[in-house]
A and B are shown apart, each in its own frame.
Chain A
Amino acid sequence: MNASVLDITRLRKSFGGLTVIDDVSFSVTRGSRTALIGPNGAGKTTVFNLLTGVYPIDDGRIVLDGQDITTVPANDRVTYGMSRSFQNIRLMPHLSTVENVMLGQHARARSLPSLLFPLGLTPRNKWAREAADALADAGLGTYPGQVVANLPYGVQKRIEVVRAMVSRPKILLLDEPAAGLNQVETAQLQALLERVSASGTTLLVVEHDMHFVRNLCDHVVVLNFGRKIFEGTPAQVNDDPAVREAYLGSDSSMGAAHAS
């Protein structure tokens, strides 16, 4: 039971008549680095949105660390130990780096005294210090007071990870963390994620970059057209006929398989 930190059972979601997630079940082992991959439109980001409660699910169950969160409102789920980054950077553009990270602390500071504590008037308070330390730990100590809109893309990506981490999640959902990064930035991001993983946080990563997945992840779940078609190690994934067909099309139906 406790070997997995996240259990998804028979997840189903339709938008109108279109079933985008169809009977998807998988478990994420505690401490693992699981990748969720698949061709464009396979439903990977939708799975994230269902997990974090952006949309309600039609059927199925989501259990996070033994607690059923299927019907928990989106703004409470983070308190159960789940946090995420976004496919397109979604930092608050008008907030400074430290303030963005302090937003990540919100899940741990929802009591009235915490809400009314003047963070901005006491620059050395424990929340600001913690946020600055978390940034420094991630190698981002250079930009504490800057408004994030002006920072480089790769730096913003890593700030997103730090923001998600200060909520102290059991599982961190990363939606295409390496997308749009150059090699150096990808390496910096991977180093950060390795440290996050080493600290005991489980990673669930949606990613297109198979090289990045093979380097980082130890388990892979493949979706295609909203269904799970494969689960196994990164080494196995390339040899699986169903996965090859999903990405490349089958020999017999080259014309029909516009999966991407």
Chain B
Amino acid sequence: MSGYLESQLIILCLNVIFAYGIFLPAASGQLNLGAAGFITLGAYSSAWLNASMGGLGLPMFFSIPLAMLFCAFVAFVISFPILRTRGVYMVLATFAFAEVVSGFVINLDFLGGAAGMPVDDHANINVVLPVALGVVLFSFYFMATRLGLTFRSIHDDESVATLFGVNVRSAKVAAFTIGAALTSLGGALYGHHYNYIETQTFNVLLSIYILLYVLLGGTQTAWGPLVGAAFFTAIPELLRQVSKETGEQWIADTRFIFFGAIIVLMMVVRPEGLVTRTMVERLSRRDKGDPPAKTPAAGEVSS
């Protein structure tokens, strides 16, 4: 595999992990613009646990899970005040959280402050790719469970879900916490792959992009974040390739205008995301070649 392709694949993997971390809360109706906060927390805590100088010197395979646990704990604690907000206010609350994290880290000297922090262990594609696949499989499994069903129910109608026995608060806390753990996993891998982290990388633009992958990919099925992240990671790169092939420099220069236009277009054409529940249903039925219904006549008559 060429170096270029490998580097793109790594970026894709990281984006997919981030996207699933934001997808889980989004599937239960929470808009989380705090991805950068959890990425920062994950990257720095794993880096510190891993650092032989000034840290604990744990190997990466311990420091990453510990960092995830730590971030899950932080997410659990902050989820209670944050989940009192909803809609655009939750967007603001999670955004504020990310800013607070960034402000903290930049002022902590043992984490390098504004100068950033080198990270010891290196995670190459042989680590990042399997982990990303694991995250995808986990998310597909998770959304197929009854808990996943309750998430989707809460997304549609909280009060009805409550009346059927769903503890909405607990489910939302679970979604937020597990999502944060996944996001921080992505952050930790980011640090270990590039071996250098600084808070400026994990800015609000990153949070916005990740939320965009999820919302435009679709929050109804586990396919959404995968397709969304792949689509939006690939488009700017493809436009750059097109520019290179055709020798038209202006395409590369203005590719983010195209990118923006595509985003707007998608919101017009597929307001519920690229992949919807109905679409998956239709495709899977075509695959199996099922007849659309089983014994309709017998069913209708009995009532």
What residues of chain A have their CB less than 8 Å away from a CB belonging to chain B?
52-54, 74-79, 83-84, 86, 90, 92-96, 99, 102-104, 106-107, 109-110, 114-121, 127, 136-147, 150, 158, 163, 167, 188, 191-192
B276: nearest chain-A partner, CB-CB: A94
Q: Please give the distance in Å from A189's CB to the nearest CB on chain B.
A: 9
Q: Are A145 and B285 in contact (CB under 8 A)?
A: yes
A84: nearest chain-B partner, CB-CB: B163
- Given A139-B303, A147-B278, do A94 and B152 touch, yes or no (CB 8 Å)? yes
Q: Is the CB of B262 closer than 8 A to any CB of chain A?
A: no
A141 CB contact (under 8 Å) in B140, B157, B161, B298: B298
Expressed in whole angstroms, the Cα–Cα distance for A54 and B162 within the complex equals 9
Q: Are B303 and A141 in contact (CB under 8 A)?
A: no
Q: Are A191 and B303 in contact (CB under 8 A)?
A: yes
Q: How large is the interface on B (under 10, 10 to 19, 20 to 34, 35 or more residues)?
A: 35 or more
Q: Is the CB of B81 closer than 8 A to any CB of chain A?
A: no
- Given A139-B300, A139-B301, A147-B281, do A75 and B165 touch, yes or no (CB 8 Å)? yes
Q: Are A192 and B162 in contact (CB under 8 A)?
A: no
Expressed in whole angstroms, the Cα–Cα distance for A92 and B301 within the complex equals 26
Q: Is the CB of B148 closer than 8 A to any CB of chain A?
A: yes
Expressed in whole angstroms, the Cα–Cα distance for A94 and B278 within the complex equals 8
What residues of chain B have their CB less than 8 Å away from a CB belonging to chain A?
140-141, 143-150, 152-153, 155-157, 159-168, 220, 277-278, 281, 285, 293-296, 298-303
Overall SS of chain B's interface:
helix
Q: Are B145 and A192 in contact (CB under 8 A)?
A: no
A164: nearest chain-B partner, CB-CB: B164
Q: Are B152 and A139 in contact (CB under 8 A)?
A: no
Q: Are B303 and A106 in contact (CB under 8 A)?
A: no
Q: Are B162 and A188 in contact (CB under 8 A)?
A: no
Q: Are B281 and A114 in contact (CB under 8 A)?
A: no
Q: Please give the distance in Å from B163's CB to the nearest CB on chain A.
A: 5
Q: Are A75 and B167 in contact (CB under 8 A)?
A: yes
B166 CB contact (under 8 Å) in A106, A119, A120: A106
Q: Are A118 and B141 in contact (CB under 8 A)?
A: yes
Contacts of A93 in B (CB 8 A): 156
Q: Are A75 and B144 in contact (CB under 8 A)?
A: no
Q: Could you write out 8 A-B pairs with CB less than 8 Å apart?
A: A54-B163, A90-B157, A94-B156, A106-B166, A119-B146, A142-B300, A144-B294, A158-B303
Contacts of A76 in B (CB 8 A): 165
B146 CB contact (under 8 Å) in A92, A106, A143, A191: A106
Contacts of B149 in A (CB 8 A): 95, 99, 102-103, 119-120
Best-surrounded residue of B141, B159, B164, B168 (most CB of chain A within 10 A): B164
Q: Please give the distance in Å from A165's CB to the nearest CB on chain B.
A: 12
Q: A95-B149, A106-B150 are in contact. List 20 more A-B contacts (CB 8 A).
A: A75-B167, A78-B165, A79-B165, A92-B153, A95-B152, A95-B277, A96-B281, A106-B146, A106-B164, A114-B146, A117-B145, A118-B145, A138-B303, A139-B299, A140-B299, A141-B295, A141-B298, A142-B294, A145-B281, A147-B281
- Given A54-B159, A136-B299, A192-B303, do A142 and B293 touch, yes or no (CB 8 Å)? yes
- Given A90-B157, A139-B299, A188-B303, do A103 and B144 touch, yes or no (CB 8 Å)? no
Q: Are A78 and B145 in contact (CB under 8 A)?
A: no
Contacts of A90 in B (CB 8 A): 157, 160
10 shortest interchain CB distances as A-B pairs: A139-B303, A120-B144, A141-B299, A107-B165, A92-B156, A118-B144, A142-B296, A78-B165, A115-B147, A106-B165
Q: Are A94 and B299 in contact (CB under 8 A)?
A: no
- Given A94-B277, A106-B146, do A121 and B164 touch, yes or no (CB 8 Å)? no
Q: Please give the distance in Å from A52's CB to the nearest CB on chain B.
A: 5
B168: nearest chain-A partner, CB-CB: A75
Q: Please give the distance in Å from B245's CB to the nearest CB on chain A.
A: 41
Q: Please give the distance in Å from A199's CB to the nearest CB on chain B.
A: 14
Contacts of B294 in A (CB 8 A): 141-142, 144
B302: nearest chain-A partner, CB-CB: A139
Q: Please give the distance in Å from B153's CB to the nearest CB on chain A.
A: 5
